[in-house]
Amino acid sequence: MVSDALKPNVQDLQKDVIELLGQIDALMGRASSALGSDSAGKKYGELQQEINDATSNVKDLALRMAIVAPMKAGKSTIINAIVGQDILPSRNAAMTTLPTEIVFYTELSEPILILTPQILAVFQETLLALKRKIDTLEDRGHSKIAQYPHLAQLLEKIQAMGVVSIPAKTVGRSQITQTLTELNDLIRLCSVIEPLADPLQSLLEVPRIYTPFWHSQTTEQSNQLGNLVIIDTPGPNEAGENLRLLNVVYEQLQKSSLVLIVLDFTQLKTEAAQQVKKDVERVIQLRGKENLYVLINKVDQRTEGDMTPEQVRQFVAAEFGIGGSGETNRVFEIAARWAFCATNFLLELQQYPSLDLAQMTTARALAQQALGSRWEAKLNRVSVEDLQDEAEYLWKESGFAPFVEKAINGLMERAAPRCMKSALNIAYSRLMELHDDVQLRGSAIAKDEEKLRLEVGALEADLHRLELCRTQLREVDKIKTHLHNELNRILEVLKDKATVSIETFFSEEEYQRSGVFKKVARGIGNILNTLELRGSYKQTGIIEFSSSDDAEKFATLAITYPKQRAESLLNNVRQQVENIIEQSRQKLITELVSETQPIIEQANQRLNEGFNLNLSLPTPTLKPAEMTFVKPRIKSGFRMVDQGHEIVKKREWWHWLWIVPFEQKVEKSQKKENFYTVSLKEIIKESNSFIEQNIETIKQGMNQYLDEDFQQRIDTFFNNLDHYLSNYRDSLRQAQQDQRLSLDEKGKLMGELESIGSQSMEQIKKTDIYIKRTNELMPGR
């Protein structure tokens, strides 16, 4: 639950942390300047830059909030209402297929859409694949998109031009809407025409819109917080049968601090409720219940006898386990259409305050929502000020104000403490390094020159011992071997499960195993039932169709089915793989620490005793975040061969699926007709081969990744320890040079070192206090 009392605590701590980091930044700058005549000056300048970067992270805190919803629950309208303008495309048919980030920047006057080079390259390749496929189809693909008439214009554009230009940067609301509409339509067109060229499987990044926040000038909170980032994700039921949205949604939900689930008030107790419940359960499975908020949209359609707000909360708590008696700020009732019309009008008024009401493009939509059934007549009699009052009232009645406030508080509760703690840990580490440096250097100046020479030699020997330890570690190889064996075993089991046969390819049991490919399997089954060939294909392995379109539709579904089935199974072993990697990471840490700790502790004790100091010990670790397992994707390896109306006499081995028209004399009609066959045996044989080859590729890629990653982590571990000892050695070397200074110069240097050491210790203590304050705000501490 998000408590109102948390708001000032988080924000006050954020202010305090920024102020402290500024003081530490200034101290590092002073050290760089005061000690700038020697090699240490450059080092402290680099430390100052690290502190500066950490400060920016706290100031410009990115608060990531993902929004998911069943189709037509009003998700785009909600986002548009927060933005204050119609920036996301929407239509009656399913729209969102491409996740999009919306970043709020108060400095902007109009929105900007950015597509990275990687996004552009993927979509250009998709366009080329679509062009090649369209050129091979009899009717240029028009029959395939019969249920998506809005795709016809794009299909003709690709056919005529060959290439559709996609800009890397788009400025302005209408242009952004057009670009995003084309990208989403490209994905959906690809899912219908050429599903195996799906760009979603190749995208590593998503489009990002930078936009102003309409009420930023009147909301103090938006000035204190960082940048709100909303992620518009495809709904669980928005996919066409061939769209690959599960992985895309999963990745975005994992990156977000908070997830909003939008439900349609008018659909809560309909037949669609059970599907919605499954969708919500899937999100909970992917992201966890503690990070979820629920928005009940369209409550402006509530009528006499409908559920009351309290009954809605009880319903959500009973059906989804969210928003019970102890979680009153987890479920919000909203009217997104009201909120959007209000914010859209207020933003236009804010940007163009001198416009007359007749000139305002947003006035009619607001009047229709706010002035009742006689809105057109009333609109002619009201003033701009009257309509502004109506907009502000409608915004209040929409329920958006408490939702936005509580949601941002929820983001602050989760994201801000982690960000601030990370910055404070960096500052603490660098302060300790600075303090130890000046402490050791100040003490060493007064020591005997021979003693310094001997200690520099001892540290050189310690560094050599560390290098020997790095090269002679045997246990690490055993850990890596065990890890590889375990992962290979899991993938072999996966390969066995993913293998299909004719007997089970379309069985009802298979339909029920995963929602990911259920519709695809049922679609194939429906085709077979229509042809009344439900059982015969099991004997012959050949399925006959009267038209090329039916054959190709079946072939497309048949290709997609085993591919999605394998990917679904691969998703199921994700957590198992992550657990094994985490266990191996812990073993690696234990082994590295046990081998290196004696070297570091002996050096630390020797320096403390020899120079009357209390130097800190490093705590190098391999953080879990640095070992994140990136799930390899199964790459598309299918090729579908459309032979048109020619009789195929020869085929190459890689053409594992073929559609071949034959001529046959039909006695009853005494005429010739074409019929088309698809070999189910070949589909199964080659799809199993595809699965086996791709899992082998995954295995090789994963092993290579882990080899490189483990080596990188080991190198980082030893480099940190090497840096620790090298710093002390360099400080002693610098002290040797300091001994050659005049008495006056030496006195000034000693005073500067003592002052910097004293200030650094004060800030170390203060940083430690702030870390404890941050820990108190950490969720699940």
| Tens digit of each residue's pLDDT (9 = 90 or more) over 243-258 | 455 556 666 777 777 7
- Do 503 and 618 fall within a single domain? yes
Domain membership flag for residue 385: yes
Mean pLDDT, the chain, rounded, equals 75
Mean pLDDT highest for which of 266-275, 429-438, 653-662? 429-438
Domain membership flag for residue 22: no
For residue 658, how many other CB atoms are within 10 A of its CB? 19
3-state secondary structure (DSSP) of residue 464: helix
Following CA atoms 139, 141, 144, 148 in sequence, which dihedral angle do they give, to the nearest 10 degrees?
A: -120
pLDDT at residue 631 is higher than 50? no
pTM: 0.62
What integer is the mean pLDDT of 529-539? Answer: 52
Q: How far is CA 257 from the centre of its chain?
A: 10
Confidence of residue 333 (pLDDT cuts 50, 70, 90): very high
- Do 568 and 706 fall within a single domain? yes
Closest listed residue to residue 6, CA positions, set 778, 781, 766, 769: 778
541 Ramachandran zone, left/alpha/beta (phi>0; psi -120 to 50) = left
pLDDT at residue 241 is higher than 50? no
> Which residue, of 211, 237, 264, is where some domain finishes?
211
> Which residue, of 211, 238, 263, is where some domain finishes?
211
Give the model confidence (pLDDT) of 637-648 as tens digits: 333 333 333 332
3-state secondary structure (DSSP) of residue 420: helix
Domain membership flag for residue 465: yes
pLDDT at residue 214 is higher than 50? yes
Q: Which range, of 491-495, 564-568, 648-652, averages the lowest pLDDT? A: 648-652
Domain membership flag for residue 713: yes
pLDDT at residue 377 is higher than 80? yes
User: What is the residue range of 496's domain?
Assistant: 446-740
What integer is the mean pLDDT of 310-319? Answer: 85
- Do 545 and 631 fall within a single domain? yes
Predicted local distance difference test score (pLDDT) of residue 236: 56
> Which residue, of 211, 246, 280, is where some domain finishes?
211
Predicted local distance difference test score (pLDDT) of residue 37: 59
- Do 364 and 508 fall within a single domain? no
- Do 391 and 463 fall within a single domain? no
Higher pLDDT, 212 or 303: 303
What integer is the mean pLDDT of 751-763? Answer: 93
What integer is the mean pLDDT of 60-89? Answer: 80
pLDDT at residue 107 is higher than 80? no
How far is residue 159's CA from residue 717's CA, in Å, rounded to a whole number?
55
CA distances from 761 to 24, 38, 47, 387 (A): 11, 23, 16, 60
- Do 584 and 665 fall within a single domain? yes
What integer is the mean pLDDT of 744-769? Answer: 92
Give, to the nearest 10 degrees, the angle between helix 680-738 and helix 548-572.
40
Q: Which range, of 64-78, 116-130, 445-459, 765-779, averages the lowest pLDDT? A: 64-78
Predicted local distance difference test score (pLDDT) of residue 94: 54
Domain membership flag for residue 279: no
Angle at CA 747, nearest 5°, toward 743 and 752? 150
Closest listed residue to residue 428, CA positions, set 14, 764, 16: 764
How far is residue 196's CA from residue 184's CA, in Å, rounded to a whole number?
16
Domain membership flag for residue 16: no
Predicted local distance difference test score (pLDDT) of residue 156: 75
Confidence of residue 103 (pLDDT cuts 50, 70, 90): confident
What integer is the mean pLDDT of 206-219? Answer: 70
Predicted local distance difference test score (pLDDT) of residue 40: 63
Give the model confidence (pLDDT) of 343-373 as tens digits: 889 888 888 888 888 899 999 999 999 998 8
pLDDT at residue 63 is higher than 80? no
Q: Which range, of 344-353, 451-460, 498-507, 521-530, averages the lowest pLDDT? A: 521-530
User: Is residue 440 within 8 Å of residue 611, measured between CB atoms?
Assistant: yes
Q: Which range, of 259-268, 392-401, 702-711, 728-737, averages the lowest pLDDT? A: 702-711
Give the model confidence (pLDDT) of 589-616 as tens digits: 888 888 888 888 888 888 888 777 676 7
Domain membership flag for residue 511: yes
pLDDT at residue 119 is higher than 80? yes
pLDDT at residue 10 is higher than 60? yes
Q: Which range, of 223-237, 291-305, 702-716, averages the lowest pLDDT? A: 223-237
- Do 392 and 466 fall within a single domain? no
Closest listed residue to residue 189, CA positions, set 286, 97, 301: 97
Percentage of the chain lying above the pLDDT 90 cut = 14
Domain membership flag for residue 624: yes
- Do 379 and 461 fall within a single domain? no
- Burial label for 593, CB within 10 Å (0-12, 13-18, 19+), is middle
Predicted local distance difference test score (pLDDT) of residue 147: 65
- Do 601 and 687 fall within a single domain? yes
Give the model confidence (pLDDT) of 33-42 as tens digits: 887 655 666 7
User: Is residue 723 within 8 Å of residue 394, measured between CB atoms?
Assistant: no
Beta strand pairing status for 208-211 and 100-104?
parallel
Q: Which residues of 410-427 are buried (b: 16+ CB within 10 A; e: fewer)?
A: bbbbbbbbebbbebbebb
Q: Which range, of 56-70, 272-286, 289-303, 476-490, averages the lowest pLDDT? A: 272-286
- Do 490 and 354 fall within a single domain? no
- Do 355 and 500 fall within a single domain? no
- Do 486 and 605 fall within a single domain? yes
Quote the number of domains for the chain.
3
